[in-house]
Amino acid sequence: MKFKNCFCDLSYISFFRRGPLILRLVLVCAVAAYFPLAALPLYAPLGTASGALGIALRSRLFPHNADMGGMETIYEEHDGGVFAQNASYKTEGEGEASALAAGGVLEPEEFSVSTPLIFFAHTLERGDMIGNLAIKYGLNEGTLISLNGIRNTRAIQAGRALKIPNQDGVMHKVAKGETLESIAKQYNVKPEPLVSANELFGEKINAGTTVFVPGAKMNEAALQEINGDLFIRPIRGRFTSAYGWRRSPITGARSFHRGIDLAAPTGTPIGAGMAGRVTSVGYSPVFGNYVIISHHSNYRTLYAHMSSVRTRTGAYVSTGQTVGYVGNTGQSTGPHLHFEVYKNGVTVNPLQLMH
């Protein structure tokens, strides 16, 4: 019988146009049951309705092929992956379902298999930057920072050997009472990869042990701190005095300068270095008019020698929002901003945290 070749034979196309209606309906339903779109060119007015009828009929006759969400998804191997042809297929994971809905390609199974942590060495050369190295090796910036214990990316020097891992993640020092499950939950990852990556023989782990958490990401605030991107410059002023030991311009004695000085004309607006809550506004013989702001991660900033203040205690300020104006109040030799940064109650060099 020639029917199996009807799509290539004009006589059978003619049959679909002029044959008995009942036979046309049966044949189009049969085609539409397995090839809904293929039925449309044969007889468009009839094909649309019969296509829907064919699908419904197939759901009745072959319920094991019918999805909870609608049509069956057909998978084909394609360039090393699996291609999903249908958008209505439901899978176990929501992320996987989203990929299928977009007609995406599922990653090969071996891509998601947990592997032990291995790494090789990269010796830093002049001009190397952590961000560029991360891109070069296909890793997150935080992975390189955490694995190598980098506290300040601006301070790394040529000649230092960095460990380059085979996967993304962060190092975690186990605290008393922590388990693999609680650590995984803290970083929003599964516990099984921790066992594989660290080649553990069980789920028991001792406090004080440092483990690698595959797939975990470094806290954004910590990443900004290490990269020196935590604060903005409060003013666009001229740098006049650094953080650290110096001879005091007021007394002439050697003293520790707890911040930096930026000279600018009186009345220049001073912006908050980072968003936070104003905890103190006042005047002192040393700092003149000042403002203190508390930020996340136990940071605090001081803005001193203002001509006037434009905020109040308890107010929330956004990054760059004006909190006062440059002045020459208190112990000062000219109009400037004295800017201090504290971390956990201890001064730190503002220049290492500003971008």
The CATH number of the domain where 245 resides is what?
2.70.70.10
Residue 300 has φ and ψ, to the nearest 5°, of -145, 140
Q: Is 170 in the same domain as 192?
A: yes
Let me know if residue 91 belongs to a domain: no
Taking 70 as the pLDDT cut, the residues of the chain under it are 1-103, 105-114
Q: What is the pLDDT of residue 95?
A: 59
- Predicted TM-score (pTM) of this structure: 0.57
| Number of C-beta neighbours around residue 24 at 10 A | 19
Q: What is the pLDDT of residue 323?
A: 98
Q: What is the pLDDT of residue 24?
A: 62
Q: What is the pLDDT of residue 115?
A: 84
Q: What is the pLDDT of residue 110?
A: 57
Sequence length of the chain is 355
Let me know if residue 195 belongs to a domain: yes
Q: Is 181 in the same domain as 246?
A: no
The CATH number assigned to the domain holding 205 equals 3.10.350.10
Q: Angle formed by the axes of helices 44-61 and 21-34, to 10°?
A: 60
CA–CA distance, 23 with 291 (Å, rounded to integer):
88
Residue ending a domain, choose from 227, 251, 271: 227
Query: 300 by DSSP, 3-state: which?
Result: strand
Residue ending a domain, choose from 227, 255, 282: 227
| Number of C-beta neighbours around residue 222 at 10 A | 15
Q: Is 209 in the same domain as 280?
A: no
Q: Is 221 in the same domain as 250?
A: no
Give the position of tokens 């999903």. Answer: 84
Query: 19 by DSSP, 3-state: which?
Result: coil
Q: Is 155 in the same domain as 190?
A: yes
Let me know if residue 72 belongs to a domain: no
CA 137 vs CA 117, 133, 141, 144, 163: distances in Å: 15, 6, 10, 10, 11
Q: What is the pLDDT of residue 342?
A: 97
Q: Is 221 in the same domain as 267?
A: no
Residue ending a domain, choose from 65, 92, 109: 65
Q: Angle formed by the axes of helices 10-18 and 21-34, to 10°?
A: 120
Q: What is the pLDDT of residue 86?
A: 37
Number of domains in the chain: 3
Q: Is 125 in the same domain as 223?
A: yes
Let me know if residue 233 belongs to a domain: no
Provide the residue range defining the domain that includes 35. 3-65
Q: How remote is the C-alpha of 301 from its chain's centroid?
A: 27
Q: Virtual CA dihedral for 338, 343, 347, 352, nearest 10 degrees? A: -70
| Number of C-beta neighbours around residue 13 at 10 A | 14
Q: Is 202 in the same domain as 243?
A: no
Q: Is 242 in the same domain as 301?
A: yes
Residue 263 has φ and ψ, to the nearest 5°, of -85, 140
Under 8 Å between Cβ of 274 and 283:
no
Under 8 Å between Cβ of 118 and 166:
yes
Q: What is the pLDDT of residue 125?
A: 94
CA–CA distance, 102 with 95 (Å, rounded to integer):
11
Let me know if residue 159 belongs to a domain: yes
Query: 259 by DSSP, 3-state: which?
Result: coil
Locate all alpha helices (DSSP H) within the chain, ordered by sequence.
10-18, 21-34, 39-42, 44-61, 94-101, 130-136, 141-147, 180-186, 192-197, 220-227
Under 8 Å between Cβ of 154 and 130:
no
CA–CA distance, 348 with 257 (Å, rounded to integer):
11
Q: Is 266 in the same domain as 300?
A: yes
Let me know if residue 71 belongs to a domain: no
Q: Is 146 in the same domain as 203?
A: yes
Let me know if residue 76 belongs to a domain: no
CA 125 vs CA 129, 137, 154, 164, 227: distances in Å: 9, 15, 14, 15, 18
CA–CA distance, 325 with 304 (Å, rounded to integer):
10
Q: Is 42 in the same domain as 132?
A: no
Let me know if residue 114 belongs to a domain: no
Q: Could you tell me which residues come within 8 angstroms of residue 306 by beta carbon, excluding any fewer than 6 positions away?
A: 270, 288, 289, 290, 291, 324, 325, 326, 327, 329, 337
